[in-house]
């Protein structure tokens, strides 16, 4: 009889339990949404993971690159020797004679490609300077024939990549308050290696997509695929 | 607290995406208006597209088997009562109409989620991008496109499509696509890019009329208008508003027959960025 009486005991109210259960579920949903929400693949591709604001980059030791306002991309590459028609000494022009990179590669600051200077630019100096040297005689031969030396391309990007020199120079040099145009060789050195120590230019940085994206990550560049792939 | 804030942010983003069609996070939103009343079906836009975007000429045989590479095609339609009535069939005034079809740059595109390697993705410009060197040629995107506006390189067309002197005409700003790569209209992304580059170099925003797409530039009747839909002074924005084409709907509700704007296959909820203005009939 006692057991029967127990079973007949009035049950706790259904509605209260139900509302409690719903409230718990709502809380769980909110927490679950907030905890488990992951950025989508597109978000991950688009947003750079580590952005270094250039104003603060000088304050932190690990962010100091070769010059203020940039984190240098890591990576080296053993490029092959390139046989140029005339063995052009970069070190003599830049390190010894202190000629600015932008004097000869003048298109770098206003177009996508840095360009090779026309022979007339060479002859602007070399019709007077060092005319007795064998290489200059070689150059003068080309000049007299009305030809330009068939220079070989050293840094060649694939057809599907778009790279503009002007925008990179604008960011790292002209918009950078800590830099002056005289120090442009440090900006060039980010991707081309230290040309002031080379005779004939050689590829010293890998220039792969990983190399580009590492620098874009560190310096807050774009991560939109279509900006660089055409 | 951050959990709650995240939740609220997520929720408000979701609500906004329902109300505004998810278009609020774009930097630009490139859109187009095509006035079918002005279109004469001259195919100049298609030719301009071939010249601008390094499109391969595939030849008659391959074209017949549906392997044409025309990013922009002009489709011809006839109204129902005139079918079989030979006398009036070939004029535009009597039930015929032309429709230039390029990639609609859908804002919730069907081609993007099916790509196994994320070669098709959405840019912050509201463009539906295709990254050629990432594409592995699975062709899922083309099969999923309701407009049939994606074209596949079945052969290495670059080998014989531009014999020796003709390869000098190739546009260096865009890749010459190889075999096994899907391609489609990009709204002339190389022109967008160079316009943005110029604007950045001059420290300003891209203004309306800085550049044109190739088809717009060539259209003799100015039937094609292109611009930034987020820029409220742009011509394309004004046209969308004039004809009351709304984003974020699956059907344009209009009482007035003068509001001619509509988008293709809106009922599929693809949210295209191209508005077509219906042809006006005399009768």
* B35: helix, strand or coil: strand
Q: Please, which pLDDT band fits residue A23 given cuts at 50, 70 and 90?
A: confident
CA dihedral B103, A162, A151, A96 (to 10 degrees): 160
Are the CB atoms for B185 and B126 separated by under 8 Å? no
Q: How far apart are CA B75 and CA B94, in angstroms?
A: 16
CB contact under 8 A, B132 and A37: no
Question: Would you state the pLDDT for residue B85?
Answer: 60
Question: Would you state the pLDDT for residue B196?
Answer: 94
Over pLDDT 70: what percentage of chain B?
90
Residues of B in contact with A30 (CB under 8 A): 3-4, 7
Residue A59 has pLDDT above 80, yes or no: no
* B11: helix, strand or coil: helix
Residue with token string 């599907």: A160
Residue A113 has pLDDT above 60, yes or no: yes
Q: Please, which pLDDT band fits residue A48 given cuts at 50, 70 and 90?
A: very low
Which residue among B3, B193, B197 sits closest to A34, beta carbon to beta carbon?
A: B3
Residue A110 has pLDDT above 70, yes or no: yes
Does a structural domain hold residue B19?
A: no
CB contact under 8 A, A225 and B7: no
Does a structural domain hold residue B3?
A: no
Does a structural domain hold residue B166?
A: yes
Does a structural domain hold residue B199?
A: yes
Query: Could you report the per-residue pLDDT of B186-220, keeping only the tens digit for each?
Result: 999 999 999 999 999 999 999 998 999 999 999 99
CB contact under 8 A, B131 and A225: yes
Which residue among A41, A170, A230 sits closest to B173, beta carbon to beta carbon?
A: A230
CB contact under 8 A, B193 and A42: no
Q: Please, which pLDDT band fits residue A11 given cuts at 50, 70 and 90?
A: low
Are the CB atoms for B262 and B245 separated by under 8 Å? yes
ipTM: 0.81
Does a structural domain hold residue B9?
A: no
Which residue among A30, A170, A229 sits closest to B131, beta carbon to beta carbon?
A: A229
Residue A60 has pLDDT above 60, yes or no: no
Give the residue from B110, B45, B100, B31 showing the smallest Cα distance to B274: B31
CB contact under 8 A, A30 and B134: no
Return the minimum-mean-pLDDT range out of A10-19, B41-50, B251-260: A10-19
Question: Would you state the pLDDT for residue B215?
Answer: 95
CB contact under 8 A, B190 and A224: no
Token pair for residue B131?
């990254």
Closest chain B CA to residue A171: B201
Number of domains observed in the structure of chain B: 1
Give the residue from A37, A50, A40, A45 showing the smallest Cα distance to B2: A37
Are the CB atoms for A157 and A163 separated by under 8 Å? yes
Return the minimum-mean-pLDDT range out of A193-202, B21-30, B264-273: B21-30
**CATH number of the domain that B99 lies in?**
3.30.70.20
Domain boundaries along the sequence of chain A: 2-44, 49-228
Domain membership of residue B133 as a residue range:
26-277
CB contact under 8 A, B131 and A33: no
Does a structural domain hold residue B5?
A: no
Q: Please, which pLDDT band fits residue A82 given cuts at 50, 70 and 90?
A: confident
Q: Please, which pLDDT band fits residue A5 given cuts at 50, 70 and 90?
A: very low
Got the DSSP string for A120-157?
HHHHHHHTTTTTTSHHHHHHHHHHHHT----PPPSS--
Residue A55 has pLDDT above 80, yes or no: no
Question: Would you state the pLDDT for residue A53?
Answer: 43
Are the CB atoms for B73 and B101 separated by under 8 Å? yes
Question: Would you state the pLDDT for residue A77?
Answer: 86
Q: Which of residues 36-95 of A touch B (CB under 8 A)?
A: 37, 41-42, 45-46
Q: Please, what is the angle between helix A134-145 and helix A119-126, to 10°?
A: 130
Q: Please, what is the angle between helix B2-20 and helix A14-36, to 10°?
A: 90
**CA of B38: how far to CAs of A4, A228, B206, B219, B277, in Å?**
88, 37, 28, 10, 9
- The predicted model gives A25-32 an average pLDDT of 78
Give the residue from A160, A38, A37, A42 showing the smallest Cα distance to B124: A42
Q: How far apart are CA B135 and CA B118, in angstroms?
A: 8
Return the minimum-mean-pLDDT range out of A114-128, B10-24, B171-185: B10-24
Burial class for A149, CB neighbours closer than 10 Å (0-12, 13-18, 19+) = middle
Query: Could you report the per-residue pLDDT of B77-136, keeping only the tens digit for each?
Result: 877 665 566 655 556 666 678 899 999 999 888 999 899 998 999 898 889 999 999 999
**CA of A83: how far to CAs of A17, A147, A200, A202, B232, in Å?**
85, 19, 8, 10, 56
Residue B4 has pLDDT above 90, yes or no: no
Question: Would you state the pLDDT for residue B87?
Answer: 58
Does a structural domain hold residue B176?
A: yes
Query: Could you report the per-residue pLDDT of B245-257, keeping only the tens digit for each?
Result: 888 788 888 888 8
With a CB cutoff of 8 Å and minimum separation 6, the contacts of B231 are B28, B208, B237
Residues of B in contact with A221 (CB under 8 A): none
Token pair for residue B165?
């002197």
Question: Would you state the pLDDT for residue B120?
Answer: 93
B176 and A CB contact within 8 Å: yes
Query: Could you report the per-residue pLDDT of A125-173, keeping only the tens digit for each?
Result: 999 999 999 999 999 999 999 999 999 999 989 989 999 999 999 999 9
- The predicted model gives A209-217 an average pLDDT of 90
- The predicted model gives A63-71 an average pLDDT of 70
């Amino acid at each position: 009889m006692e057991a029967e009486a127990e079973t007949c005991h009035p049950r706790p109210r259904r509605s209260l339990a139900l509302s409690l259960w719903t409230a718990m579920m709502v809380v769980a949903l909110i927490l679950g949404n907030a905890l488990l929400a992951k950025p989508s693949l597109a978000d991950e591709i688009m947003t750079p993971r580590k952005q270094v604001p250039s104003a603060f980059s000088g304050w932190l030791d690990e962010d100091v690159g070769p010059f203020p306002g940039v984190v240098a991309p890591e990576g080296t590459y053993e490029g092959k020797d390139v046989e140029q028609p005339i063995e052009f000494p970069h070190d003599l022009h830049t390190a010894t004679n202190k000629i600015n990179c932008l004097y000869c590669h003048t298109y770098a600051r206003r177009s996508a490609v840095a360009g090779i200077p026309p022979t007339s630019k060479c002859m602007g100096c070399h019709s007077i300077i060092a005319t007795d040297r064998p290489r200059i005689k070689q150059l003068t031969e080309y000049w007299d024939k009305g030809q330009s030396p068939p220079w070989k391309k050293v840094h060649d990007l694939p057809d599907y990549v778009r790279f503009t020199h002007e925008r990179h120079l604008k960011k790292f040099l002209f918009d950078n308050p800590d830099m002056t145009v005289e120090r442009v060789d440090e900006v060039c050195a980010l991707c081309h290696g230290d040309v002031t120590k080379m005779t004939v230019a050689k590829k010293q940085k890998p220039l792969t997509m990983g190399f580009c994206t590492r620098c874009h990550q560190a310096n807050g560049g774009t991560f939109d695929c279509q900006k660089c792939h055409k | 607290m951050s959990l709650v804030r995240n939740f609220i942010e997520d929720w408000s983003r979701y609500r906004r995406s329902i109300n505004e069609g998810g278009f609020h996070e774009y930097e630009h939103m490139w859109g187009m208006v095509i006035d079918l009343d002005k279109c004469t079906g001259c195919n100049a836009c298609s030719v301009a597209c071939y010249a601008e975007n390094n499109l391969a000429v595939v030849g008659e045989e391959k074209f017949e088997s549906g392997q044409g590479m025309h990013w922009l095609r002009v489709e011809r339609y006839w109204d129902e009562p005139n079918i079989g009535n030979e006398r009036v069939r070939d004029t535009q005034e009597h039930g015929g109409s032309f429709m230039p079809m390029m990639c609609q740059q859908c804002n919730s595109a069907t081609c993007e989620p099916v790509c196994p390697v994320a070669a098709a993705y959405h840019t912050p410009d509201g463009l539906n991008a295709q990254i050629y060197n990432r594409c592995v040629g699975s062709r899922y995107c083309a099969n999923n496109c309701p407009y049939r506006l994606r074209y596949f390189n079945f052969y290495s067309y670059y080998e014989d499509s531009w014999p020796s002197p003709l390869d000098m005409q190739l546009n260096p700003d865009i890749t010459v696509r190889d075999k096994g790569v899907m391609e489609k209209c990009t709204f002339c992304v190389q022109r967008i890019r160079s316009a943005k580059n110029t604007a950045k170099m001059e420290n300003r925003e891209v203004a309306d009329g800085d550049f044109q797409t190739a088809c717009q530039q060539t259209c003799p009747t100015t039937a094609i208008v292109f611009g930034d839909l987020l820029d409220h002074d742009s011509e394309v924005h004004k046209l969308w508003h004039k004809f009351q084409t709304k984003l974020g709907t699956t059907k344009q509700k209009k009482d007035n027959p003068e509001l001619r704007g509509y988008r293709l296959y809106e009922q599929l909820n693809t949210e295209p960025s191209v508005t077509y203005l219906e042809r006006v009939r005399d009768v």
